Amino acid sequence: MAFEFILMLTSNDRTIPDAAARLDEALEGGVRHIGFKDVGLPLAELKGLADAIRAAGGRSYLEVVSLDAESELASARAAVQLDVDCLLGGTRADVVTEVTRDHPVRYYPFPGRITGHPSVLEGPAEDIADSARRLADLEHVHGLDLLAYRFDGDVPGLMEQVCRSVAKPVIMAGSIDSEERVIAAARAGAAGFTVGTAALKEDFPAEGPGFTEQVRTILSITARAQARSTAPRRLALVAHDNRKPALRAWVLRHRRILAGHRLICTGGTGAMVTAAAPELSVRRLQRGSRGGDQQLGALVATGELDAVIFFADPSAPHGYDVDLQALTRLAIVHDTPIALGPSAASALASALLARGAD
């Protein structure tokens, strides 16, 4: 997740009554990460929202606001039944993961002590960071949902401390209503942020009135904030055998902007990249002939890659096309950028990895 804007069709911690109509406006604005709460509408209507988001090529999120154990478990079961992509929130990860662990839903619980409705984050920053570490250590927790702007204290400091404490992605939530707060989340290392009520109230300075213009404005703000993001990107690198020298040359030419990011490579490519630039962070999968391309596809499908660079050999035998076609199809389905040669890879890297000055 490369610092994404997640639009919540919610107000005051409830899904809005006209969420279906607002969803059409949101899609017109161009947003593709869209969520809702587990309260405010019947389950059947929430299912319609989740299906419509997926049909439009988007990624769906359900955020839990329940405070008691039974309601939180019911929300986890609802996330599975609705077939959403991500479940945000909740405080009982030990029991929720018993529900979600055998399903494709990605789970991002709240760290810290959560009270009230609307929810508030309480406690010292050190305790919240400790909670984040404990949660991130759980196998079936895929990231964290930090109610940063519901914290009565040094919010930028809290965000940075939590992001530094864990290797998994952190989404910032709660009363993000200005470009200043969006950029602060990016600088802290967040993987994304949620906006709900502020967009519905038209708090952001847009070129025109209406919800669609709010969405477009927040997307523009997100693009500016991405240049200040400190979160490491997760970039897949792979090459057919005859294209490995070209990929090696590309890596050496871009080693400076690749530094600090996480490279995921099939086995042979990973060995080559590590030998050429040992300072880079490389995670090696199986070799392509042993299933490495399929492992990359699985990472695309679960949203764990920000982009794919595949130096393909157009003169290779047709057998090589199968894995490339499968990976390309998944990249399209999950809207993951993919580059198949040096020029496209350089353009992608410049857009995704370069960090602007504050």
* The pairing of beta strand 33-37 with beta strand 4-8: parallel
Question: Is 358 considered catalytic here?
Answer: no
Of 13, 85, 145, 293, which is the active-site residue? 293
And the tokens for 99?
């529900």
- On whether the CB atoms of residues 172 and 158 are closer than 8 A, the answer is no
The residue type of 96 is: V
| CA–CA dist 133, 136 (Å, integer) | 5
DSSP state of 243: G
| CA–CA dist 179, 221 (Å, integer) | 6
Of 294, 248, 289, whose CA–CA distance to 270 is shortest? 248
φ, ψ for residue 18, nearest 5 deg? -100, 35
The residue type of 332 is: I
Separation of CA 208 from chain center: 29
- Rounded alpha-carbon distances, angstroms, from residue 200 to 10, 35, 83, 204: 8, 14, 26, 10
Separation of CA 44 from chain center: 26
- Rounded alpha-carbon distances, angstroms, from residue 260 to 42, 165, 170, 230, 354: 45, 16, 17, 9, 11
Number of residues in the chain: 358
- On whether the CB atoms of residues 238 and 288 are closer than 8 A, the answer is yes
Other C-beta atoms lying within 10 Å of the C-beta of residue 314: 11
Active site positions, annotated: 293
